[in-house]
Each structure stands twice: as structure tokens, then as C-alpha cells.
């Protein structure tokens, strides 16, 4: 007899929805602040380093590191460093892309990440997708091509940076999935901030620059707050609801990014960017829908072979 969906499957708590929506707003503030700084002449590597340095200080204080030795215990320090490097790469490439691209463009390309993760999860994690999800990945890639339009308009180095940010984030998520079984949440949060600070400290004398005014100082220091607070909200949201239940809501960040881009910088995405974003979001939402169906099917099908067969469809 099929198992009926649980309450968690039927409805997503309002608190979790509000937390994930707030996360999108905070991360939109992060990107908007970074764009303000890099378009004002500050170097992206230094801006990214400062974001993690402030983040690290906040993590040490909020987690009371002096009384929480679990933060420092790791199973594999090299993997923690590599994971932190991917997170820094995502941040640095994103900040570099924001120097020339609109906020709406960068976030639209970033939304292709769930599709890339779906593709990489097979060879790297053994989580193979079926043909329907692969088709959605392909359609999402078409959407990214619609946004970048290679060969149809002037080449933008910012598009390469945006793709680099998206790919770095994908590998960061893949490593997080793999390491979550052996590493504590506290240690992963701590080392994801510590590794970028240490790895990029030698570049500070080269790329470091003093903010030109008080407002720029405030905006620069706020980056670490937005990053730390945004990740804290994200953790709280996923404690209240499942990943699949919350998966559609981050796409609303596109609204906040476009609105901030228009209000702060007077920029609005062109038709190609809007169409490409809609294609990517539609493909991503289909993948979310398909994985939710498979989750419910796996709970109702006791036969393991039938469950594995369903995943390949």
C-alpha cells in the first residue's frame, strides 16, 4: 500500500519560506554592494578577500570559537581547503563579473548552477539523473546561450567571469554534499571562511586599496555581514524544511536583483536576458518538480530495484 505524503511533503512551513526569501534579499544586497565597489574602482580580489575576512571574524564571535572546539576538528583538512577555495572562486568571479554585467545578467547565469550540479552529481556522487532531467539541463543551457549570445554581440569578459562563478559554486556544492557525512556543519562554515582569507592574503598588498570615502568603507565592511547573515538564514531555513520543498523560492532572487539594479544603477535587463532567464528558471523548476516526484515515489515503492528504475526515467 503506498505511503501517503507526510505533512512535510504536503506543505512548506511559512517560517521556512520567509527565511529563504530573506536569504535571497540579503544575497542581493551582497551583490549590489560588491557591484557598487568594483564599478567604483576597487579591485575584485581585495573586495572578495575583505568579504571573507569580516565573515571569519563574525563566525568566530557568533559561534564562540573559544568554547566550541568542534569548529576546528576536521576529518580532511585538504578537502576543507579545496572546498573553501571553490567558494572563494565563486565569490571572486562573481564580483569580477559585476564590474561589467548587470545584476540581472549575473544572477540569471548563476541560476544555471542547479542544472550543472544535476549533471555532475552522476559521475562525482553516483546520483545519476534520468533522461527528463538531462533534457531540462540541455534546455537550461540554451537559456544561458540566449543570455550570453556568443557571436551575436560584443564579447563580454564578464560573461566568462559569471560562468566561472557558477561553475565554482557547483563544485563547492558537490564537495559540501560529499563532506557533510564526515565533517561537522560548524567546521565547514568556519573553514569555508578561513581558507579564502589565508589563500588570498598574499594578494592583499597587490590588490588592496583604501575605500575612497566613508560610504565605501561601510559598504565594504557590510559584505562580510551579508555573507555570514545570509548563510545563517539559509541554515535556519533548511532546519525547518527540506531542500526540495524550498528549492523553487531562491529563483525569486531574480526579482530583487533586477529591482536593485534598476534603482541603484539605472540598469534593466534587455529582452534576451529576460527570455534566457525565464528558460533557465523554467528548466530549474522542472528539475525540482521531477526530483520531488522521485522522492515521493521512493517513499511509496518498497522494491529497491523499481525505485532505482524510476530514477533513471
Per residue, the 3-state secondary structure of 18-59, as one string, reads HHHHHHHHHHHHHHHHHHHHHHCCCCHHHHHHHHHHHHHHHH
Give CA 53 to chain center in angstroms. Answer: 19
Q: In the prediction, which pLDDT does 89 show?
A: 92
Q: How far apart are CA 176 and CA 231, in angstroms?
A: 14
C-alpha cell at 14: 511559512
- The number of residues in the chain equals 313
Could you say which residues of the chain have pLDDT below 50?
1-10, 304-313
Domain coordinates in residue numbering, the chain: 7-127+154-268, 128-153+270-313
Q: In the prediction, which pLDDT does 120 show?
A: 79
The pTM is what? 0.81
Question: What are the Cα distances from residue 218, in Å, to 37, 224, 225, 242, 265?
Answer: 11, 11, 11, 35, 18
Give every CB contact of residue 90 below 8 A, 6+ residues apart in sequence: 165, 166, 168, 169, 172
Q: In the prediction, which pLDDT does 2 show?
A: 45
Q: How far apart are CA 266 and CA 260, in angstroms?
A: 9
Q: For 265-294, what is each residue's pLDDT tens digit?
A: 998 888 888 888 888 888 888 877 777 776
Q: In the prediction, which pLDDT does 308 show?
A: 41
Q: In the prediction, which pLDDT does 181 show?
A: 78
Q: In the prediction, which pLDDT does 294 show?
A: 67
Q: Which of 195, 197, 238 is closest to 83 using CA atoms?
A: 195
Q: Which of 128, 134, 124, 166 is closest to 287 using CA atoms?
A: 134
Q: How far apart are CA 281 and CA 248, in angstroms?
A: 9
C-alpha cell at 96: 569580477
Our CA dihedral for 168, 116, 290, 133, rounded to 10 degrees, sits at -170
Angle among Cα 172, 62, 231 to the nearest 5 degrees reads 30
Q: How far apart are CA 174 and CA 161, in angstroms?
A: 20
Amino acid at each position: 500500500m503506498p505511503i501517503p505524503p507526510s505533512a512535510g511533503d504536503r506543505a512548506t512551513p511559512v517560517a521556512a519560506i520567509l527565511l529563504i526569501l530573506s536569504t535571497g534579499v540579503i544575497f542581493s544586497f551582497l551583490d549590489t554592494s560588491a557591484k557598487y565597489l568594483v564599478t567604483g574602482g576597487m579591485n575584485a580580489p581585495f573586495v572578495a578577500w575583505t568579504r571573507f575576512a569580516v565573515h571569519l571574524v563574525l563566525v568566530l564571535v557568533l559561534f564562540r570559537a573559544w568554547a566550541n572546539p568542534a569548529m576546528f576538528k576536521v576529518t580532511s583538512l585538504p578537502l576543507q581547503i579545496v572546498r573553501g577555495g571553490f567558494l572563494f572562486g565563486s565569490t571572486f568571479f562573481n564580483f569580477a563579473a559585476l564590474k561589467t554585467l548587470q545584476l540581472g545578467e549575473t544572477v540569471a547565469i548563476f541560476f544555471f548552477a542547479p542544472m550543472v550540479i544535476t549533471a555532475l552529481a552522476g559521475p562525482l556522487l553516483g546520483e545519476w539523473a534520468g533522461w527528463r532531467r538531462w533534457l531540462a539541463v540541455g534546455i537550461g543551457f540554451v537559456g544561458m546561450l540566449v543570455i550570453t549570445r556568443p557571436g551575436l554581440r560584443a564579447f563580454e569578459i564578464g560573461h566568462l567571469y559569471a560562468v566561472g562563478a557558477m561553475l565554482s559554486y557547483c563544485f563547492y556544492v558537490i564537495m559540501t554534499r560529499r563532506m557533510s557525512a564526515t565533517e561537522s556543519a560548524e567546521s565547514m562554515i568556519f573553514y569555508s571562511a578561513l581558507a579564502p582569507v589565508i589563500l588570498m592574503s598574499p594578494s592583499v598588498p597587490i590588490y588592496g586599496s583604501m575605500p575612497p570615502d566613508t560610504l565605501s568603507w561601510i559598504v565594504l565592511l557590510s559584505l562580510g555581514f551579508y555573507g555570514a547573515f545570509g548563510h545563517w538564514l539559509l541554515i535556519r531555513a533548511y532546519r525547518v524544511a527540506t531542500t526540495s520543498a524550498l528549492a523553487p523560492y531562491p529563483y525569486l532572487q531574480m526579482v530583487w536583483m533586477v529591482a536593485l539594479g534598476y534603482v541603484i544603477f539605472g540598469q534593466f535587463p534587455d529582452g534576451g536576458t529576460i527570455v534566457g532567464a525565464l528558460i533557465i528558471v523554467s528548466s530549474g523548476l522542472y528539475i525540482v518538480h521531477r526530483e520531488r516526484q522521485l522522492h515521493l515515489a521512493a517513499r511509496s515503492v518498497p522494491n529497491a530495484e523499481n525505485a532505482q528504475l524510476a530514477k533513471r526515467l
